[in-house]
Structure 1
């Protein structure tokens, strides 16, 4: 059985998410800590280059919570009376101890920052990659209540719509990527591909701050119980007006499970997998059992909007695809942390079901397909645990065929860490597969002619919002079916993937619209979490 110390790793959100950047982070304890003795001085101080142990600063809060924690067996909250400076100094020490690039953090005076959030935002490297991109794009926080609600039950707040921004930020084209099953939006007629025209009477192209605020509230942060009017243009060109009420939405991470028979009579299993969260386990097992019954010859997993999550769940899915004959006792993922942290044991392909409320194995054996090849549908929203799946299988010489766009590039992870009602995510590890490869910070790229380690055999295809997911005519899926039926050839008409897709998740999105003349019209939220193990990246 896999015990907590083995499973307490979360994916390279994952990222998340991933949740590995991703996007999937490490585990932690869900038990209430014993009361902590405050540091010797009741008024903590900052001294450049001197760090108190983070454990001595934890849970001393500017606004301590009272009562019992509903996400921790109603045990009393661990919060004690403290100050904003205590919280900042805890973040400083915790980052110095665990951040992957801790020696690249500027040790600035915490008192020079107005808020704890402002201080945390700069506790990261400002270095750039060789391509000129930020080295760390996965540094964020969220209310702990939101974290536990989504991690433990898959419940988020909203309409059940997952949005996609299309093209460059200045275009401000917002379309429906997919819908949660039985959600308010799906029940009243929203469909994939619907393009937003206005919200509560405000045009999507407004350039006033008041208008921007209206759009952000109506689209990304509606209050539960409130209704908003959203006008869309559907794929057939007609305009539709919907009045939709926000509520608590239970996510459906596994959707559109089906077996497709190609023109060459090849039996192809297809499933849309949206997020590596604990409630997905049952859906994945059901899907694999269906594919076993249907005797599928090939498998297509649609990861195009999967931003990451639990590394353990990713390792389970990889096992269910490959089976023990292909795994052959090789490991799935090896973490690489900073030089202040111990070296962890390799993370295995997991062949048993997990009780995700405790992170203990149930002892029940997982089904498997014993496949040496899998097709993965991807976009730039494919992160973290999803990328770990690709890399983990490549590490055992399983053939991965990538159809779509270059993935987001999140070979990192973190342990979501809670303090004073806020959950913090900071990059704490990277990882490699069984062959020692993990350098895909620029993403995995599909190509008919792989040349580099992060190239993956496949076809470059742009996302198709004019057809529904799971439809054999949808561009990514139809390309995969063509590839299967034509000895690994990409269709000549394959289009270049030139539209970046960014799908925020309900609870963790920090995406906000800004005036069109602002430097960055759309600020990407770190929604691709690397969910930790609970005992919860990005």
Structure 2
């Protein structure tokens, strides 16, 4: 692989002088200057950023000498603004954080939550904003207070939600929600209010796993809400149960899944199939500093455990516009091999992958020169995914074969055979006929998803050890 990169000598000498000072600090902590942090940001993007050709300042020959480079680093005192100034206009997803510890918690599905997972929308043509409860996490304040899927709310602490105030109102350790309901397309306020508070919570992304035996064909149903490596055993166990039940059809519910680990997506694809071991799943394309990296169907988890595979030739996938990145990758990677029947709404449109870069000599968390003087880490886009047939660049998402919008007045019970999206899949399996597409009686603008608090929201990523 083309691992030897061109780096101007003055940059190399500057990097050596900066990092050597860290190794001499021992336990003495001297806060890093913005210039030092900007230097880390620049070098990481110069080496790995997918859209490097779009940014003139990232060209290897942009600076003539050391002095001009230092002047450039000193030109912006805020590292976050410096990072954002080096992003391509095509980039909707790269980000930087000032505390990598919080980022790592998020990637492990640890966050502050009331347990109420919800979306916020504004009714088009009006100023009315309301939230709808998608699901409730077990053993949380919301669960204990009786919050349930399908509940609607239009007030926080008695204040009407609006497009301008919802972020401030929701950014509190505790708050009350004022309930509402839809009647003939009109939002009507209820007197009931529910008090909620935030707790630190680790969410199991395997939210529902069950076998449905209502028809002649046993059907596996999996609601999977995040591609999280630390829960790989739980996902594999769900497939062991499906295998033991000898399911013939499988419905994967990704409607609220914002993405996550590419490795876990690869593993899930291998659990669904199994007959394509060591065949190409996707190709990861990097910038011109690196060659393409193929990724193959496999039969082992990262912990060495054998994958429980179903050897299916068909899978149903339920999606909404909140299905993003690794959720879309699963659909894209499987399509060349098996029949993927997608039901719901078009997906988000995210085919790029990112990586966490730390300020160390090899950009990894365990790099020998990891700076003890700042906790910035960045998550830039470093690759784009391409399936076996060359499919990529789906900026507008992946369209379903059967279009069904979730009806806020009739969300149904997740995992229930009458829930509209699942029912559409079960009807197709049983052969009762193609369901009629469902469209809401009013248009909405989506404003906010509660899982945006997760740093893998709309992200798919690799580990630093997976960089080429």
> For this structure pair, what is the TM-score category when the shorter chain's length is used for normalisation?
0.7 to 0.9
Q: Is residue 53 of structure 2 the alignment partner of residue 97 of structure 1?
A: no
TM-superposed deviation, 1:193: 2.2
Out of 101, 105, 125, which is 1:149 matched to? 105
Aligned residue number for residue 463 of structure 1 = 406
1:60 and 1:79 in contact (8 A); partners too: no
TM-superposed deviation, 1:535: 6.1
TM-superposed deviation, 1:439: 3.2
In terms of fraction of residues, the more helix-rich structure is 2
Structure 1: tracts of 5 or more residues without a match? 6-46, 68-75, 127-134, 356-361, 447-457, 510-525
After the TM superposition, which residues 219-234 of structure 1 pair with which residues of structure 2 at under 5 Å, given as runs?
219=170, 221-222=171-172, 226-233=173-180
1:57 and 1:89 in contact (8 A); partners too: no
Q: Is residue 397 of structure 2 the alignment partner of residue 434 of structure 1?
A: no
| SS in structure 1 of the partner of residue 381 of structure 2 | coil
Aligned residue number for residue 303 of structure 1 = 254
1:267 and 1:295 in contact (8 A); partners too: yes
State the alpha-carbon separation in 2 of the partners of residues 435 and 94 from structure 1.
31
TM-superposed deviation, 1:166: 3.0
Structure 2: tracts of 5 or more residues without a match? 2-7, 59-71, 360-373
Aligned residue number for residue 132 of structure 2 = 175
Map Cα deviations across residues 261-319 of structure 1 (whole Å, 9 max, x no partner): 34x42221111100001233122122212212222121000001111111111111111
State the alpha-carbon separation in 2 of the partners of residues 77 and 486 from structure 1.
69
1:53 and 1:93 in contact (8 A); partners too: no
Q: TM-score, normalised by structure 1?
A: 0.70
Higher RCO (CA 8 Å, separation ≥ 6 residues): 1
TM-superposed deviation, 1:230: 2.0
Q: 1:329 to 1:354 in 2, by over 3 A?
A: closer
Map Cα deviations across residues 395-450 of structure 1 (whole Å, 9 max, x no partner): 3x21100001111111110111134312312111112122332232221111xxxx
Q: Is residue 221 of structure 2 the alignment partner of residue 274 of structure 1?
A: no
State the alpha-carbon separation in 2 of the partners of residues 54 and 322 from structure 1.
50
Q: Is residue 397 of structure 2 the alignment partner of residue 443 of structure 1?
A: yes
1:58 and 1:87 in contact (8 A); partners too: no
After the TM superposition, which residues 476-491 of structure 1 pair with which residues of structure 2 at under 5 Å, given as runs?
476-486=421-431, 489-491=433-435
Aligned residue number for residue 122 of structure 1 = 85
TM-superposed deviation, 1:239: 4.5
| SS in structure 2 of the partner of residue 309 of structure 1 | strand
After the TM superposition, which residues 351-500 of structure 1 pair with which residues of structure 2 at under 5 Å, given as runs?
351-355=299-303, 362=304, 364-395=305-336, 397-419=337-359, 420-446=374-400, 458-465=401-408, 466=410, 467-486=412-431, 489-495=433-439
TM-superposed deviation, 1:533: 2.9
1:336 and 1:343 in contact (8 A); partners too: yes
2:254 and 2:323 in contact (8 A); partners too: yes
TM-superposed deviation, 1:137: 0.9
TM-superposed deviation, 1:92: 2.0
TM-superposed deviation, 1:198: 1.5
| SS in structure 1 of the partner of residue 322 of structure 2 | coil
RMSD, aligned CA = 3.3
Q: 1:434 to 1:117 in 2, by over 3 A?
A: same
Aligned residue number for residue 139 of structure 1 = 94
TM-superposed deviation, 1:253: 0.5
2:277 and 2:296 in contact (8 A); partners too: no
Aligned residue number for residue 286 of structure 2 = 337
1:146 and 1:507 in contact (8 A); partners too: no
Q: 1:199 to 1:53 in 2, by over 3 A?
A: farther
Q: 1:77 to 1:175 in 2, by over 3 A?
A: farther
TM-superposed deviation, 1:52: 5.3
State the alpha-carbon separation in 2 of the partners of residues 300 and 79 from structure 1.
53
Map Cα deviations across residues 69-121 of structure 1 (whole Å, 9 max, x no partner): xxxxxxx8997643112212321222122111212125394544451111212
Aligned residue number for residue 513 of structure 1 = none
TM-superposed deviation, 1:491: 1.3
Aligned residue number for residue 82 of structure 1 = 32
